[in-house]
Structure 1
Amino acid sequence: MASSHSHQHTAQLQQAPTRLAEPTLAIIIVNWNGWRDVVECLESIFNNKDRRFRVVVCDNASSDGSIGHFIDWAAGLAPVTAAGALAHLSTPNTPKPLRTALIGPDAPLPSADDADLFIIDTGANLGFAGGNNVGLKIAANWAGCRHFWLLNPDTVIEPDAISVLIDRMDEADKPGMVGTDLRFYHTPEVIQAYNGSRYNKWTGTSRGHFNFHTGTPTVARAEIEEATDFVSGASLAISKACYNDIGPMNEAYFLYFEEIEWALKAKKRHHIGYAQGALAYHKEGTAAGSSSNKGGRSLASERFLLRSKLMFTREQFPWALPAVYAFTLMQILVRIRRGHFDKAGMMFKLLMGR
């Protein structure tokens, strides 16, 4: 929880002279002990030219004082300093203070008019799905807000990303779920995914479209949309109409596979779109407490990944479960060969139902 001086900042922020336009889009970010990434992400969002948005940051009981840091940042007391090729997306910093509201776990749902930045204390570590669901419930209550954009905390976006995304979601075909271009933050020339991924139900694995390609491959938007089984959870937009049809994310998936199950539900009544040219850069791994830069996921991330994969396969494609088990046994052998005995042991126990 924020300190008392931070609460004074909240009162001060309510009187900030500038305000955003009426929101068409709610941007939802879930934080768990990652405030430094989040404030850089927020700078890139508030640097967008299109002002038809609100931001909802859902803090999952962080222990690093994240809420206080967010309030200090919004008051203009804690400038963001970014380095590297993407520093221009968050510096110079946007004018402060920002109109900000701090919402406790049991507070009534706020109005979109209350603030431009909503900091939500969820009261517990609800996971990726649970944290996003808190933000979605708030945004779904805003009458004029037509679309919700779930952004990972370790992303930054280009200054035209919001307008490109809203334009795609408002096109005549009215897609229910939409992805963007995702590139790696530390190597911006390398693509993480265009829009999302195909899912292989026999192995329980997926690969992003144009994953690890460099440059800007020429590809038709319709081709990517047709090939997308699910939109990347790091940058996932959903229309209010689709959300009202399919409901919130399944919180049984604490981490991983929640967006795949959500997309399966969405595709039964809606279709997937692609906001080609709406660009986000992803540090990747930070949100899950792992590091892709160090050559692999953490033990905790691997445990969540396999647990979710087995649960998802049992529920959605039970006839593919033997193949997923066989593939996982092969993965265990690879871990053993690489000397990752802790990961191999954990995976074997999960396969055995322990």
Structure 2
Amino acid sequence: MAWTSIKRIYWESVIEWISQSTGFPPGNRIVWQLLRYIGTNASISVALTLNNAPHPQTNKPARSPANTVQDIAVIVLNWNSPVDTIACLSSIAEEILRNSSRCRVRLYPVDNGSQDHSCEQIADWIERHGDLDVCFIQNSHNLGFAGGMNAGFRAAEIDAPADYYWLLNNDLTLCPGALSALLDATSTDPSVAVWGPTIVHLNSDTIQCAGGGRYSRLLGMERKYLRGLPLDKVNCYRHRPTRFDFIYGAAMFIRGDIIRAHQGLDESYFLYYEELELARRLGREDRLDWCCESVVSHQGSDATSRDKGQRARSSYFAAYSACQYTWRHHRAFLLPMILIRMAGLAVQALRETNPELALAPWKAVFAFLSGRTPAPPQA
């Protein structure tokens, strides 16, 4: 026994020396081949050493057991639309009740400097749902989408770091089973960094976005996956391999270690393109994926596009963020992107008889080129 231990220590020292000399880890094939030339008894000792050597560390999380209770933080951003926000919160509350044995859900509604009675109405809803774990955050002014979401993220991190963060637009409502489908997906494949559900138009079975989509550098626009397809056709695409450039920002289910590593969303984007920037910063091993069975309904527009004036403001921020993202990552495409995008918006403005829609993007371009920060929209 003593002689065996001495031989093992000897061969461990040899392995360590070869690894340091060659730069290869102990389990590398080259190290193994070199050892074969050193001694005939190497195979037994090396096998013992390699079996007990630590495996290389990876960022891939271990598969979660089916009975693991996950900690989920849900962040919902409100801006002057309490009716939509309360409908969203109510649908989340129903999903929490359905999955109470599978996960702990903490709810973080964030008011982003609303100028109406949003805070009072949301606070009243929270008071009537005292059984929920809710932390209501009220920003003094509009911090933009990323800034508002990050306020909720930071509050959740202070309470307790979550396994997953679900960032939701306030004009979404969860369909029954939306959360449980995501929990199933994360247990099956925990290596996915960001999940996206199937998003359908409100009061319709038409798909608005299945998970995420691709990005056109030339147009500076996103192309949402399966957009316009009836929901009953979605099973045909369930197992089809799909590459995403982003997960649709209206509903991002983000792994906790991922959002912590990037300290939330990039607040240099006031509105739009935050999801593209997040996807851009992910590593090669951090996948984006679509959870087909998780379905949520969306009004199809955010809080900035209820009338012509608000549509123009929405167009302004979209154009500004497009310039910002293109300049940061695809500078050679900035000029053609601006020209093509403006031409398309001009045609759309003529069709809708909305001249502000044509002027707003040009104002955004000039603001970006002159280095001005976009001003928050007013109610």
Structure 2 counterpart SS, 1:140: helix
Read off the aligned partner of 1:123 and give its amino acid letter: S
Whether the 8 Å contact between 2:313 and 2:360 is mirrored in structure 1 is no
1:46 aligns with 2:79: no
Instruction: Note the C-alpha offset of 1:142.
Output: 4.6
In structure 1, C-alpha distance between the alignment counterparts of 2:273 and 2:322, rounded to whole Å: 7
Whether the 8 Å contact between 1:45 and 1:159 is mirrored in structure 2 is no
Equivalent in 305, 310, 315 of residue 290 of structure 1 = 305
1:130 aligns with 2:147: yes
CA deviations over 1:292-335 (Å, ceiling 9, x no partner)? xx799711000000000011000011122132023124225414
Specify every segment of 5 or more residues in structure 2 that has no aligned partner in the other structure, as ranges: 1-67, 371-379
Residue of structure 2 equivalent to 1:159? 176
Residue of structure 1 equivalent to 2:200? 183
CA deviations over 1:136-193 (Å, ceiling 9, x no partner)? 1122345462000001100110231112112212334421111001001132x11101
Instruction: Note the C-alpha offset of 1:74.
Output: 2.6
Correspondence list, 1:76-225, <5 A: 76=128, 96-99=129-132, 116-143=133-160, 145-187=162-204, 189-217=205-233, 218-221=235-238, 223=240
Q: Structure 1 pair 351/69, CA: closer, same or farther in 2 (3 Å)? A: closer
Out of 193-202 and 206-215, give the one that drifted further.
206-215
Identity between Structure 1 and Structure 2 (%): 26
Residue of structure 2 equivalent to 1:70? 122
Residue of structure 1 equivalent to 2:295? 279
- TM-score under structure 2 length normalisation: 0.72
Q: Structure 1 pair 296/265, CA: closer, same or farther in 2 (3 Å)? A: farther
Instruction: Note the C-alpha offset of 1:71.
Output: 2.0
Whether the 8 Å contact between 1:58 and 1:121 is mirrored in structure 2 is yes
Which structure shows the bigger proportion of residues in helix conformation?
A: 2
How many correspondences in the alignment? 294
- Larger Cα Rg: Structure 1 or Structure 2? 2
Residue of structure 1 equivalent to 2:318? 305
Out of 191-200 and 58-67, give the one that drifted further.
58-67
In structure 1, C-alpha distance between the alignment counterparts of 2:192 and 2:345, rounded to whole Å: 39
Equivalent in 56, 73, 78 of residue 26 of structure 1 = 73
Equivalent in 247, 252, 260 of residue 244 of structure 1 = 260
CA deviations over 1:106-137 (Å, ceiling 9, x no partner)? xxxxxxxxxx1111112221111000001111
CA RMSD of aligned residues (A): 2.3
Specify every segment of 5 or more residues in structure 1 that has no aligned partner in the other structure, as ranges: 1-20, 77-95, 100-115
- TM-score under structure 1 length normalisation: 0.77
Q: Structure 1 pair 332/179, CA: closer, same or farther in 2 (3 Å)? A: closer
In structure 1, C-alpha distance between the alignment counterparts of 2:304 and 2:152, rounded to whole Å: 21
Out of 309-318 and 294-303, give the one that drifted further.
294-303
CA deviations over 1:2-41 (Å, ceiling 9, x no partner)? xxxxxxxxxxxxxxxxxxx976111100111111111111
